[in-house]
Amino acid sequence: MFAFCLPHPWCYFSTIIPQVGDFLPRGLARACAYLYKNKGMEFVYVVPRKTLLGDQEIHGLLPLAPAELEERFLAPAREEGFFIERSWVETHPEFKQPIPYVAVMHGEELFCLTRLQTQGEKRLHGKRSIGVGGHINPCDHPENGGELFTNACHRELHEELLLPDVPLPLTPLGILNDDRTDVGSVHLGLVFRLDASEFEVAVRETDAMVGEFEPLDSLTSLASGPESPFETWSSLLLASGALKGSATSVS
């Protein structure tokens, strides 16, 4: 079940878009695109914290086999999740925003990104990242095919990287959580590994970041140092050692 929610009265919504019933759920992406373009309102997918974590306190990566990830997190997230205005939910840790977070690997090398000063979020300037991903948006809704989380993975990968237009071999690794920061408290990473051994990878947004494959062991050592240049999630994922494992990929 997917729902659409606004932290505003429905009467306000109906004054912006005539015949709102025509948009939901069939035209959900179109409605949200209208609001983003004309009202600066971005909508992201959220799930109640209790649904995903219950009373668990998880810090770092929780490794999960694909079937366990599906049963414990993805299926409940589909059932209980909905889209809501991002600016509102960023300050409400009773909700978690699931974030697909994909590590791109070629053998024992890992594609590492460095955010430039021109990148949008100032807190990420100069930071290094081994994960490609972002918020789940209404355009990822499976009304036009696919699956919500896989759709979001593929969209984010193609937005940030130059990749072939083929099904991508994604391996689920688990979930990543960090409630020790304000940003981390409202997000939950859905971690995947992409096997890029059969194709080339390059940065698409060259004005915002640079990237190249580097040895996994070297990046792991760098992340464990006293002045790690990595984003928090990247440091936690490298420290977990999960990228050396193997599992069955899904497309």
Looking at residue 123, its amino acid is R
Model pLDDT for residues 116-133, shown as the tens digit of each residue: 876 566 655 568 999 999
Model pLDDT for residues 51-94, shown as the tens digit of each residue: 999 999 999 999 999 999 999 999 999 999 999 999 999 999 99
Residue 249 has pLDDT above 50, yes or no: no
Tell me what percent of the residues of the chain surpass a pLDDT of 90.
70
Structural domain boundaries of the chain?
3-240
Q: What is the pLDDT of residue 39?
A: 59
CA dihedral 237, 241, 243, 245 (to 10 degrees): -140
Band (7; pLDDT cuts 50, 70, 90):
very low
Band (226; pLDDT cuts 50, 70, 90):
confident
Q: What is the mean pLDDT of residues 2-13?
A: 43
Model pLDDT for residues 12-56, shown as the tens digit of each residue: 333 333 333 334 444 555 666 656 555 568 899 999 999 999 999
The chain-wide mean pLDDT, for the chain, equals 84
Model pLDDT for residues 135-155, shown as the tens digit of each residue: 999 999 998 789 999 999 999
CATH number of 3-240: 3.90.79.10
Q: What is the mean pLDDT of residues 189-212?
A: 95
